[in-house]
Amino acid sequence: MGAKRNDMINEETAAHAKVLWDYHHMNHPIGKSDCILVLGSYDLRVADRAADLYLEGWAPLLIFSGGLGRLTKLMWTEPEADQLARIALTRGVPAEAILVENRSTNTGENIQFTQALLREKHLDPQSFIVVQKPYMEKRSYATCKVHLPDKKIIVTSPLLSFEEYTTPDLLPEQIINSMVGDLQRIKVYPSKGFQIYQEIPEEVWRSYEWLVKNGYDKHLV
């Protein structure tokens, strides 16, 4: 059963979607850190969030990570990280404050390949501000804590509501499908060693099940 409308969703669907949207946020307060790590994706707005954080003085180093992933390889030929870095440069971030890792294809590789780049540069940051899409905050944190268990991790994202996050090219249905798929991964990935365990409250899982039953199942593993 597929969702009926591509351009809008009804109130019940929106209510369940917002339950997942709120759950996916970590709501971490921003604090001084050694570096800002931007995990690439199709959402280039993360570069503006990262540039804001750098220009506000929260960290002296900005790392962009991302090659071409499952979705972006169908959209672009230029790696995600290269596009993100260019946005930061146009925002006034100096080139010497930017590192680029442009080979990774998923979140685990984002972190592993960034670790290799930092070793190559003889850098060992102890604290990271990780920037991702709003509905991937929790998954990003859980993945970082597998690969960087002893580091301080703050996760943030573009400061947008569920309604504000949609664009003419990114419709509510697409966002909901992605949120549902990411919630499923939060449940199943810890047993595979990809993420640390994170509790999913019953009311969040009920909204997940409602959305799957109503056709939002396009991003499930």
Q: Residue 53 has what pLDDT?
A: 98
Q: Could you tell me how far CA 149 lies from the centroid of its own chain?
A: 18
Domain ranges of the chain: 11-24+161-213, 35-156
Tell me the Ramachandran region of residue 122: left when phi exceeds 0, alpha when psi lies from -120 to 50, beta otherwise: left
Nearest Cα neighbor of 140 from 207, 186, 199, 86 is 186
Q: Residue 121 has what pLDDT?
A: 96
Q: What is the mean pLDDT of each run of 10 residues along the chain (221 residues)?
A: 54 97 98 97 92 98 88 76 96 98 91 96 97 96 96 97 90 95 97 96 98 96 90
**CATH class as words, domain 35-156:** alpha beta
Using H for helix, E for strand and C for coil, what is the string for 49-95?
A: HHHHHHHCCCCCCEEEECCCCCCHHHCCCCCHHHHHHHHHHHCCCCH
Q: Residue 61 has what pLDDT?
A: 98
**By the 8 A CB rule, do 135 and 182 touch?**
yes
Residue type, 17: A
Q: Residue 2 has what pLDDT?
A: 41
Q: Which two tokens stand for residue 193?
A: 């060693």
Tell me the Ramachandran region of residue 215: left when phi exceeds 0, alpha when psi lies from -120 to 50, beta otherwise: left
Place of tokens 């972190």: 111
Q: Residue 41 has what pLDDT?
A: 84
